[in-house]
Structure 1
């Protein structure tokens, strides 16, 4: 095991929204650190299978598991499936999310509710499902994907900002309650990242406005996730990965 990677041998990880982009990079990174990885997806089964195949080619162990993580019954069924195939979940990465660009004059109640359900409620549902096993073993790592938009103006809209600010509040609340039980809870907040969803960022020439002069890579977000997973003394924190767009 390389010295810069946490030792996750005999650990089981679940990455929600793990079939592409940042979730894909996190899934592969966790597997490289030794974890057996459950790659969650909602619609992109072929892409999730591709992530599993890549992990297996490298000698790792992984499964793809379908669930809409904003729906409680789906989450319960997903956890049963993961536990039956891989075991109890030690590392939970709440990465699944949605981000539709909607101006305040066009934002509907339905879109606001959907965004909070996918980005925030899902993290609550999955965390609640993971906690019994983590508490029984007195060890767990929960990492929630926030965004620079949680503390800044953002590009997508107030619905997205609110959902990611909620993720950071959820993170701090759980961290405070669980620290004495060997469970850490942190957030990683990417700024502009070059994924297949980066079209609006590129159209707005966001890279030119960043101190580093480029968009981030999904693998750089995955590195931050591995860092907090491997550190038992970091909890309740939000780790910005944003190219210097802010220093808060």
Structure 2
């Protein structure tokens, strides 16, 4: 029992090969690799003085994970570098261009707290990733970054994870971009989410942006987005705090 897709995009619709080939489970979602890498790096630091052997082992696992990630998840198409949304059970990358690839630079060490910048994605790819996230097939200046590229065979503006826009997803991406120096891009994303949430007048879970209009999400069965979602509210707070000259204590 339970969900077959173990990440925040937990719907079956979000897992597919662009060529229509059946997906072999289990899958390894891109953002989860970033979260796991950060966990290994942080615990390695925690144990550095307590158990140097364990610390070295954790750090070694993180380094190996980073090597494999950049070998298997980094893809390229006519629009440039992007990250596979997942690797399936047969080791095949899911070449869907998704917002979730932006999570990997959020899930990393930062200069202020850790003394260095580091994520599972090699530094040489980060500028390309930033450009890809802000490309017109993903980013809507009035609404934010879509969960799936408009160029995908599965794109649908009124879908749960295949073209809708989630405020918390955008907030995570904005924080990651800002951390790596892409402040203008982060500001554009936050401004877009401010506009959308102002329109709805509530920290809505997700929404549809189609033909220049904001719309409520409604599934084929009639299920609608939660009007007051905690992580959307947190995203609004995070975006507001980012406007302050200094961080709140």
TM-score, normalised on structure 2?
0.32
Which fold has the larger relative contact order, with Cα–Cα distance below 8 Å and residues 6 or more apart in sequence?
A: 1
Q: Point out the structure with max Rg over C-alpha.
A: 2
**Structure with the largest fraction of strand:** 1
